Amino acid sequence: MADSDSLKIALLQHIPQPDNVAKALSRLEETATIAADQGCAILLVPEASITGYNIPQTTMQRVALQADGQTTTAIAEICKQTNIAIAYGFAERDGNDFYNCVQIISRTGNIAGKYRKTHLWGDLDRTLFNAGNTLACNTNNPLARIDGWKIGLLICYDIEFPEAVRQLALAGADLILTPTGLMQPWRDVAERVVPVRAYENQLFIAYANYCGDEGDLSYEGRSCITGPDGDDLARAGQTPVMLTATLQRKAITDARHALPYHRDRRPELYALATESSQPPGPAK
């Protein structure tokens, strides 16, 4: 499809149903059909939506998926049948290693991009997953492209690191898709941090969360699609819902013209931000 000045996207906020890949695929197909009928080009679902996120290690051993396995083939068929790209989170198996992964399949059923979570959250992530070691914006793993839009991928906790979002913005991302499993009581991440990340990088962010419970976690919901001006185009509450919004490329141009953050950066002053060092201690 030709490059487009607008892009309609959908995201699904749903209650987790871990350890049920068949149910996840059924939910994905149903939602993709509805989103495609509404003219959406992309559907985004939450972190590890296909396999479950807060699951025991024994369950992880059973449900983790290969990135190019049968489940990917099934999702690719959904994409082709509905003519919609799908970005989905899943627990990835790579040999004896496991990663928290998001993959985007194009309208034609091809893998358009893949990313492994680089910033692991607490004991939950660290007991289940290895950390990814690269952002999806380099020569070997470039930004995804859907209908001419350049798309970056992050997962949950990653969005809370300004350096990660800025790197994707500098690589040319127009939109960052972020499947998440934001749990209580971290509501401010969804309602404050995500809009700030969109505003300071002058791009669109879609942030797809769970609602309800999974094991001992209660999720915040509050999924959103936020514009380059930091304003919400769509915002969920704490119940299951599919959000949609139409993104306009002109909004990026207007934001960057009004506030030339990218032009006025002085990276020679920011060396400390890229060094591996311990943060300062608490103020005395």
* CATH code for the domain in which residue 56 is found: 3.60.110.10
**How many CB atoms sit inside 10 A of residue 124's CB?**
17
pTM for the full model?
0.95
Closest CA to 79 of 163, 144, 128: 144
What would the two tokens of residue 1 be?
């499809």
pLDDT tens-digit readout, 176-210: 999 999 999 999 999 999 999 999 999 999 999 99
8 noted as active-site residue? no
Using 50, 70 and 90 to split pLDDT, how confident is the model at 275? confident
Portion of the chain with pLDDT greater than 90, in percent: 92
Q: What is the mean pLDDT of the chain?
A: 95
Residue 96 has pLDDT above 70, yes or no: yes
Asked whether residue 279 is domain-assigned, the answer is no
Asked whether residue 86 is domain-assigned, the answer is yes
Catalytic residue of the set 40, 79, 137, 156: 156
pLDDT tens-digit readout, 124-165: 999 999 999 999 998 888 999 999 999 999 999 999 999 999
80 noted as active-site residue? no
Asked whether residue 282 is domain-assigned, the answer is no
pLDDT tens-digit readout, 217-265: 999 999 999 999 999 999 999 999 999 999 999 999 999 999 999 999 9
pLDDT of residue 273: 79
Residue 1 has pLDDT above 60, yes or no: no
Find the mean pLDDT for residues 63-78.
Answer: 97
Task: Report the number of distinct structural domains present in the chain.
Answer: 1
- Which residues constitute the domain of residue 246? 6-274
Q: How far apart are CA 198 and CA 262, in angstroms?
A: 13
Asked whether residue 281 is domain-assigned, the answer is no
47 noted as active-site residue? yes
Asked whether residue 13 is domain-assigned, the answer is yes
pLDDT of residue 284: 38
**How many CB atoms sit inside 10 A of residue 65's CB?**
18
**CA dihedral defined by 90, 137, 261, 201, rounded to 10 degrees?**
-10
pLDDT of residue 140: 85
Residue 44 has pLDDT above 90, yes or no: yes
pLDDT of residue 74: 98
Catalytic residue of the set 40, 79, 117, 211: 117
Catalytic residue of the set 40, 47, 79, 137: 47
Q: Is 220 exposed, middle or buried (0-12, 13-18, 19+ CB in 10 A)?
A: buried
Asked whether residue 111 is domain-assigned, the answer is yes
Q: How far apart are CA 249 and CA 166, in angstroms?
A: 18
Asked whether residue 238 is domain-assigned, the answer is yes
pLDDT of residue 281: 57
Using 50, 70 and 90 to split pLDDT, how confident is the model at 271? confident
Portion of the chain with pLDDT greater than 70, in percent: 96
Using 50, 70 and 90 to split pLDDT, how confident is the model at 2? low
Asked whether residue 280 is domain-assigned, the answer is no
Closest CA to 101 of 109, 111, 171: 111
What are the angstrom distances between the C-alpha of 148 and each of 105, 151, 162, 246?
A: 15, 9, 25, 15
pLDDT of residue 99: 98
